[in-house]
Structure 1
Amino acid sequence: MTISNKLSKFVLVCGLAAASVGATSAMAKGDFNRGMNPQARFLLSERGIDKLQLTEDQQTQLKAIFAEQKTQFAALRGDKDAMKAARTAHKEKMDALLAAKTFDENAALELINARQEKGQQFAMLKMKSDHSIWQVLNAEQRESYQEIKKHLRKKGHKKGHHGPRGERKGERSEG
């Protein structure tokens, strides 16, 4: 084995060890923000705190807002069994509607409205949280946050995350 091969392997092992230690310490500190929405992940990150110059009091208020939002979303969703039962019931109603000899517009509207109502409830909770966040930030922080959000939207757009379902920008069909 040559010296360069040994050196390469040594560097690789050191890099992997450093990466695993970093990931473990991040998980131990609770920085591994699984299940947290992107807005919360940014605002509660060191980068977000630094960029917006959030005070300790503001950080505490934001944490409370996001904890409440998470609780409300979970309550609206229900547990997994309830969600599965609701999907099954909706599918059964849809199947019955499609299997009927004649199309029942009223039944179809009921199904559509039931689905939209839940979406409206989620949207209302999101808007309430956004309003609360806005009240925590001062005028300068609001302006900075708007610019950061605009930049992040553009960045996500460049990566192709905002196309039709499952397609990247370059893959879109010419229709």
Structure 2
Amino acid sequence: MKQAFESLPDAIGPESTKFFLDDYILYKESVREELETDPDADSLESFLSWMEYSFWKGFLKLGNSTDGPTAEKFMFFTGYHGHQLISWTEKGHLLKSLRDQVDRFGKQFNATVFSDDAFYIDLLEAIPTITWQSGLATFTCVIFVCAMFINQFATVVFVSSAILATCI
């Protein structure tokens, strides 16, 4: 999944990705010689206790198993760039691409995509539909209320056209 995110268009690539597993692999390689004296030196807890890797505690949720602590949940970050990402439409395309990648791996991971702009992007997709539906409902209600209380057809048409112009 990480490689899929890093290979999307506009992705900065592996150099922008922050993922605990990359550091954990480097850590395991560096403590390989210590394993003879301390068999737990390459454990996840030992990794997180090192000062230069302790910040990863905030990005991992550990669980207990018979084999020791395991990573139940984790986060990773990767970056995207491009002058076209100024546009809300392009940000929406990128978010959709990210969500499509997550859906591809849905059976393996319970993953979600977080983007600061996702709330607004999702709203922007819904606004046109909501706008025409609320405009139609307003117009219909005004015609109905005017027809009930005003007996002059010309006045009902005038008020309805004024409301229609407001809705548009």
What's the TM-score once normalised by structure 2's chain length? 0.31
The higher radius of gyration belongs to: 2
Q: Point out which structure has higher relative CO (alpha carbons under 8 A, 6+ apart).
A: 1
